[in-house]
Structure 1
């Protein structure tokens, strides 16, 4: 008998062997072989079966197999069993089948599609097992179409959202992983895009109109998203709640993604009519578009989620494209925020000091303590890089306590070294330190430990924090003032500027914001209105018994004009940049550059 397992090179027989000859070839007829019993069982079996030789050709097929395949079983003789069962379609199944034919494995089992009947798909479970004597194999096919249909229906329910009928989160990630895997195998320039959107204010719909209306709205949104995605065949999925995603496989670039986002925004902004109830809706969309081979599902979703947050933060009802630089900045902020407290424990913070100089006499009267972070990765960081983070996560309380104690300890050293010229140490205090800690107790304990007299400590709070103080903050400020600690309003003129509070607060100093001082540039005539405001503020402060410090003094001309207006002290690069404590010591008892004071 000629033939090969792959079905190539078969020659038609002029005289096909008889059933007896086929059985004899397989060793199932001879002394003691119950041929009649075998034939009866084989022919009557409801299980579709075929006897296959070692070349992979059908020797005999029973009526059940003929019925399953829709043909006379006699016409199946000498046909390739692999072709009948579709085993060539899957490389793994084909390899396993050949291994059974060669005797390298005893059996194999798989599920394969059958030729459809009246357009309806069918499935069969196929088993191939060698006969006891090893001369051939027995091929069995079981119709499992009903079971496959049930599994398909169950999978559809498992992979689709019951409210919108869209693919759910599981199916979305399955498709996303498949797209990335296929792109990785192709090793080409394939790109992938993702629109990640969230409905603006959807919670209010559920809260006011009920979840039933909310579900109907989600269904209507799903319909419009599907219409927007249909021309490109993009996958639309509901990821949960009011979050949806549109997956753009084989993306043509950011322009295509942005155009899709514009269509989505326009579609969702059209009023929805839900049973006669009209409502408007908007969405925020995060867009990410990348080479598929250079990304993975986790990163893509993280980037999309971050970009969606940007879209909401930027005002909602818009799309925002992923920006690597903006993301790097966000990651840096996150890294700094998470390491603030450990950095304090590791002693990574240091203090610099900037002198506060008399504008008339040029004497250094005090210093402002400014915290710096000696970060092991990002280098020396100024306060604007981490103070807002510390206020957000609460680390400002232990950090502020450390700054206060370090500054007071240094102030005490200066007092002991220069008793004739003691310096006032000014320390910034955040509002959260007043609310989240007992600031009065902290200050009292630190002054007691360090030995610094209260009169040599000044606490600075921003104008927006002080103006409007009531209850606990006001009580704390009053207790600190009663203790002998000076209170200064920092950046005065940039906040509420509610002058009525000045007569009620225990404030001793106003620090004019640098925006006023920058107008007094050398060689330039200051804005008359600005100069009038500064003069009025200085006169008002003096009438209330307050001193005035001008920030950001950068030239002798500025210092001279501020002195003529009546400012008491100045602070800025004209006198000194923030420096270490040992360099401040050299200025104590000496004089900083003094401006010339005169008329005109």
Structure 2
């Protein structure tokens, strides 16, 4: 199946996963997650993006995902008051930032751009400044992994830090390193509070993981333990409405 045909035919599917505030027990945002056509070889995002890279169409895929997520959010979820979290690779973000800001007109204050592989962005400060000056909030994704993760959270002024799933898995590992992963998470929570960035722990799948993350003082969480990614209609439907608060 041709990934570019999927993009051109509008067959990308956007699911939304809530981000919850543990203290207030409310939903504060939705992360937009892409899927290919249901039942197709490119349904899963890893396969979809791999095919796009091979075809030289990563930028086209990310921008198509962004536009569809924004369109669905505006029509179905914006009234909830929850923020929209959308993902961008730094190279795509740098190339398309003017276009992204234009598309976000009227919705900038309700949008958080998650930047993946942020350590690879050479013009990070300028891009972050341009986004923030435009009223868009920024999140660093996959914090806690990679040899430059620490330098990224120090050098780039983000509004949110999204802790990598590997840290959450580590705190329940049975190989003797669980306490060290707990220290890493506690450090990130403390760093976030002192630097003004809100920490989001994603990938929480079990009650044990939740209990251990709660001990570190984490406020914002995301994961299958709470919610699986679902179409916007699921969250917008009167039977599935969730209490929402502004961040």
TM-score by length of 1: 0.38
DSSP 3-state at the match of 1:442: helix
C-alpha separation between the residues in 1 aligned to 2:170 and 2:64?
36
Deviation at 1:375, TM superposition (A): 6.1
C-alpha separation between the residues in 2 aligned to 1:559 and 1:589?
20
- Note if contact 1:401-1:442 (Cα within 8 Å) is conserved in structure 2: no
- Note if contact 1:366-1:424 (Cα within 8 Å) is conserved in structure 2: yes
C-alpha separation between the residues in 2 aligned to 1:500 and 1:429?
19
Counterpart selection for 1:460 from 102, 109, 114: 114
Sort the Cα spacing of 1:528 and 1:522 in 2 relative to 1 into closer, same or farther, 3 A.
closer
What does residue 486 of structure 1 align with?
A: 137
Counterpart selection for 2:104 from 447, 450, 459: 447
What does residue 225 of structure 2 align with?
A: 574
Higher relative contact order (CA closer than 8 Å, sequence separation 6+)? 2
DSSP 3-state at the match of 2:37: strand
**1:258-337, aligned counterparts within 5 Å?**
336=1
Counterpart selection for 1:426 from 85, 92, 98: 85
Deviation at 1:481, TM superposition (A): 1.6
DSSP 3-state at the match of 2:229: coil
DSSP 3-state at the match of 2:161: strand
1:411 and 2:73 matched: yes
Which protein shows a greater Rg? Answer: 1
1:477 and 2:128 matched: yes
What does residue 590 of structure 1 align with?
A: 243
DSSP 3-state at the match of 1:357: strand
- Note if contact 2:162-2:202 (Cα within 8 Å) is conserved in structure 1: yes
Sort the Cα spacing of 1:440 and 1:529 in 2 relative to 1 into closer, same or farther, 3 A.
same
- Note if contact 1:408-1:457 (Cα within 8 Å) is conserved in structure 2: no
**1:190-209, aligned counterparts within 5 Å?**
none
Sort the Cα spacing of 1:377 and 1:389 in 2 relative to 1 into closer, same or farther, 3 A.
closer
Deviation at 1:584, TM superposition (A): 1.8
CA RMSD, Structure 1 to Structure 2 (Å): 2.6
C-alpha separation between the residues in 2 aligned to 1:503 and 1:397?
27
Sort the Cα spacing of 1:567 and 1:527 in 2 relative to 1 into closer, same or farther, 3 A.
same
What does residue 22 of structure 2 align with?
A: 359
Counterpart selection for 2:192 from 515, 528, 541: 541
1:349 and 2:8 matched: no
Count of aligned residue pairs for this structure pair: 242
**1:174-185, aligned counterparts within 5 Å?**
none
DSSP 3-state at the match of 1:563: helix
- Note if contact 1:556-1:574 (Cα within 8 Å) is conserved in structure 2: yes
- Note if contact 1:411-1:423 (Cα within 8 Å) is conserved in structure 2: no
User: What are the Cα deviations for residues 30-82 of structure 1, in whole angstroms up to 9, with x where unaligned?
Assistant: xxxxxxxxxxxxxxxxxxxxxxxxxxxxxxxxxxxxxxxxxxxxxxxxxxxxx
What does residue 531 of structure 1 align with?
A: 182
- Note if contact 2:76-2:233 (Cα within 8 Å) is conserved in structure 1: no
C-alpha separation between the residues in 2 aligned to 1:413 and 1:525?
48
Unaligned runs of 5+ in 2: none
Sort the Cα spacing of 1:495 and 1:398 in 2 relative to 1 into closer, same or farther, 3 A.
same
- Note if contact 1:519-1:527 (Cα within 8 Å) is conserved in structure 2: yes
